[in-house]
Amino acid sequence: MKKKLVLILFFGLMLNAFAQQRLIENFDYTAGDSLGAHGWTSFSGGATNRLLVTSPGLTYSGYPQSGIGNATTITTTGQDAYVPLSASIDTSNARAVYAFFLVNVSAAQAGGEYFAALLPATSTTFYSGRVYARDNGGNLNFGITKSSPNDTNNAAMWSTSNYSYNTTYLLVIKYTFASGLAHDAVSLFVFSSGLPVIEPAPTVGPIAYTSGDAGNIGRFALRQSVATRAPSLVLDGIRVSTTWNYTTTILNVKMAVQGLLNETTNIHLVNDSATIYLRNNTLPYSIVDSATAVINKTTLRGQFEFQNTASGTYYMDVRYRKSPIFRNGIETWSRAGGEALVQNNGFSYDFTDSDAKAFGNNLFLKGTTYTIYNGDVNQDGIVDGADAAIIDNDISNFGSGYLNTDLNGDEFIDASDASVTDNNAFNFIGRITP
């Protein structure tokens, strides 16, 4: 019961902080994986030209999701797929939907075709906010329609500016809800550098096509159409939200916790939270910002979004578990010197591939994965007899639940938890900081 209450409070805070955000997709998976293995649903095209995770990912200065994970490649005549939003969007909770994504087009056809769109929550056919690419005399144009092939009769659907092939652009779909039938409007923004803090005038639109309205938006879809019209491209860094504002710096961090990790499967027993404090890299190493995320038990990754971080060099001070009460990880700092971060850009860091990723090499090799030590039950910075005594007391009282004495995440306090602390105490494990 206590664990449920703590998790409800934690996820409630996370939901409140990021209620406007409905999807983040950085394709941060192993290259060659099917998108179907990572939450996407194929609904057309069968197994032809399956949508896969491809490497490398796209980079774009000024976009928080730049350079995180890999990407996906869209070509002609193949599988179509969608990924659901965390919650559908309609007039009861938003005025508009914004879908940001990076795209790099290698080829397009003169007629043009759409390759990405939004979908209502239960539909696989009512594509809305359709984004097109076409060739225009050797140049590239982007366009947008609402929901019908007849929308392409409107020449205003296309950008008047020409763009270049093999160049990464940031595109934003805006779908605006309006009262009345067939009154919703769509806009398209195309950026070649940066991302304005305040929403600017769109590149195309807004256009209130007379085609049908979506009613709600609950999915983001990728489409591979026929070879005579479809483009070939790489797509990455999808974000769907109900607001334009995206002034944040994202750290995509991979980390494992000693007690939680199964060294055979290389996954955690449970999803759990961590907090990262960004600190200046010079004395007195002051905290300048902090963020909390859930570490996915399978990927061992969490996405930490910092709202107040200027460009600079920082240490990451990692604390396993968010709550100041329910926490047992050893405070672990990133490697000596700190990491250079760029405001409103993305950055990836992996604590699991080398002990050199932690200051003072303060990581434990479990199987083939470097992990953060845990067992510091009283959070005094060292694992010692005082921690062992607290665990022994909970064992005697048949303690269970989301307790700071539960080191392996199974919600039972027993000898398996005690052994982690005993071993770390024997080896004088404690925090190591500059």
Question: Domain span at residue 281?
Answer: 249-426
One domain, residues 85 and 222: yes
Q: Please indicate, yes or no, if residue 433 is contained in any of the structural domains.
A: no
- Give the end of a domain, one of 193, 219, 241: 241
Tell me the helices (H) and strands (E) count for the chain, helix number first: 3, 26
- Alpha-carbon Rg for the chain in angstroms: 24
| Nearest in space to 329 (alpha carbons), one of 411, 433, 429, 434 | 429
Q: Which of 282, 275, 377, 254 is nearest to 320 (CA)?
A: 275
3-class DSSP assignment, residue 64: coil
User: Quick check: is 2 in a domain?
Assistant: no
> The domain spanning residue 400 has which CATH number?
2.60.40.4130
DSSP assigned state of 63:
-
In 194-252, which ranges are continuous DSSP H helix?
Answer: none
Contact partners, residue 78, CB within 8 Å, separation at least 6: 45, 48, 49, 50, 51, 224
The one-digit pLDDT tens for each residue of the chain (434 residues) are 444 444 444 444 444 444 578 999 999 999 999 999 999 999 999 889 999 999 999 999 989 999 889 999 999 999 999 999 999 999 988 999 999 999 999 999 999 999 999 999 999 999 999 999 999 999 999 999 999 999 999 999 999 999 999 999 999 999 999 988 889 999 999 999 999 989 999 999 999 999 999 999 999 999 999 989 999 999 999 999 999 987 788 898 999 999 999 999 999 999 999 999 999 999 999 999 999 999 989 889 998 989 889 999 999 999 998 776 668 999 999 999 999 998 888 888 999 999 999 999 999 999 999 999 999 999 999 999 999 999 999 999 999 999 999 999 999 999 999 999 999 999 999 999 99
Question: Number of folded domains in the chain?
Answer: 2
Token pair, residue 139, equals 């140049």
Tokens 């950085």 locate to 26
Q: Tell whether 346 and 408 lie within a shared domain.
A: yes
Contact 372, 276 (CB under 8 A): no
The rounded distance, in Å, linking the Cα atoms of 143 and 108 is 12
CATH code, domain with 79: 2.60.120.200
Cα 268 to Cα 262: distance, rounded to the nearest angstrom: 6
Angstrom CA distances, 193 to 63, 203, 219, stand at: 9, 14, 27
Q: 388, 425 in Cβ contact below 8 A?
A: yes
